[in-house]
Amino acid sequence: MLIVFRIADDPQQAGLLTTAAAGIFILPFFVFSAFAGNLADSFEKTALIRQIKLAEIVIMLFGGWALLSENLWALFVLLFLMGAQSAFFGPLKYAILPEHLAEHELTQGNAWLSGSTFLAILLGTLLGGWVILTENGVLFMAGLVIFMAFLGYFASLKIPVSHLRPEPIKPPFKLFKLTHQEVSAARNHAQAFLAVMAISWFWFLGAAYLSQIPVLVKALGGDESVVLAFLVTFTVGIALGAFLVNRWVPKFSALSALRYHGVLLASLSVFIALSSGLMATISLPEPASLQTASVFFSDWIAVLIWLTFLAIPVLGGIYIVPLYTHLQTHSPEYFRGRMIAVNNIINALLMVLSSLFFLLCYGLGLDLITIFYVIAGLNVLVAMALHRHWQCLARLPIVEVEV
């Protein structure tokens, strides 16, 4: 919000800076995820979670200073540190669920984890996007992020201690060598690795939309309130999809239940293309007269855009939760933390590729709506490949290879 509405001089610069910010946040997942997965499989997870949440307090103290100083480079450093903290936390929060939940409870557990995560993102989006542009908003947000870090640490004290006592793993010191080693090992577990690839494509799509929503809305003639409306729609949509899975499919862990996930993914392309087509028809105001949410949504085409846009994250939430359950249930216990770390690595790769994809498209002179048409076409190709691979794996016995 600061970049688009205060720092950037034009939409092109806004797109480049927001893309750079997203890339800086994702980079630590490449660097640290493999090591983080080894830690998750080597030590008691609850203790590690508490230590990581304690480190988050230190990071947010720096973050409060970075906000108050209004230093863009310090905020970029903060994004890198937050990405590193997330890279270490991610394998733990998913790998610990099978230690406390029965297999038939995992889909519900993942639905609550995913849904509540996106609702938290929603609250942060509302407060951050709205407050940061108000008078004294920076001071308020600096205090709030520090308060939330302390709240997160105290919440971690309520997590039950794991009953498992894993054997410590001695990973090689070279992080990139370790990353290659863990990704290669993960490929031996075909069903879990296919879930990783399917999840990662979801994050390619999610990164594409989340990073470009402010630019897209401003191009459509909406102001900050419209940006918030679309960000809220995206996060609520994914949470709603996750809770629908929790309600409708409480035991969604069998491979046969995922055989038609490619069809679900292909349906996303329909709404992406439909939403893009509607965006192309909306009449744009002069740049100096950005519309508030009440004015913007008074146009029936804008309402249709919003409805088609809502369908995309709802389908995404329905798509993603069973995949996380499948990933957990088809990863051997001794490798579960590292498999989730590999998932984070591939997720990060696809999100970075999403950023590079936009940079390339901008460099070729494509406008944002045309880029979304291209994404819809790519999504159809991925859906076809995913459907074919699920069908093939469904006919094979489950064979886990020792690593």
| Pair 174, 182: CB distance under 8 Å | no
Domains and CATH numbers, the chain: 2-161+179-394 (1.20.1250.20)
Tens of pLDDT, residues 85-115: 998 998 888 888 888 888 778 878 887 887 7
Rounded to the nearest 10 degrees, the angle between the axes of helix 72-95 and helix 106-131 is 170
The predicted pLDDT at position 252 comes to 46
Sole residue written with tokens 């594409």: 208
| Pair 201, 320: CB distance under 8 Å | no
What is the distance, to the nearest Å, from the Cα of residue 279 to the centroid of all Cα atoms in its chain? 24
CA distance 323 to 255: 10
The predicted pLDDT at position 341 comes to 82
400's tokens:
């886990």
- Burial of 385 from C-beta contacts in 10 A (0-12 / 13-18 / 19+): middle
3-state helix, strand, coil in the chain (%, to 5): 80, 0, 20
CA distance 257 to 241: 16
The predicted pLDDT at position 384 comes to 87
Helix (H, G, I), strand (E, B) or coil at 222: strand
Q: Where are the alpha helices (DSSP H) in 157-260?
A: 175-186, 190-220, 224-248
Residue 146, CA distances (Å) to 52, 58, 150, 152 in order? 15, 9, 7, 10
CA distance 63 to 75: 7
pTM of the model: 0.72
The predicted pLDDT at position 401 comes to 37
* Host H or E run for residue 116: helix 106-131
- Which residues of the chain are modeled with pLDDT < 50? 252-255, 287, 398-403
| Pair 264, 320: CB distance under 8 Å | no
| Pair 84, 75: CB distance under 8 Å | no
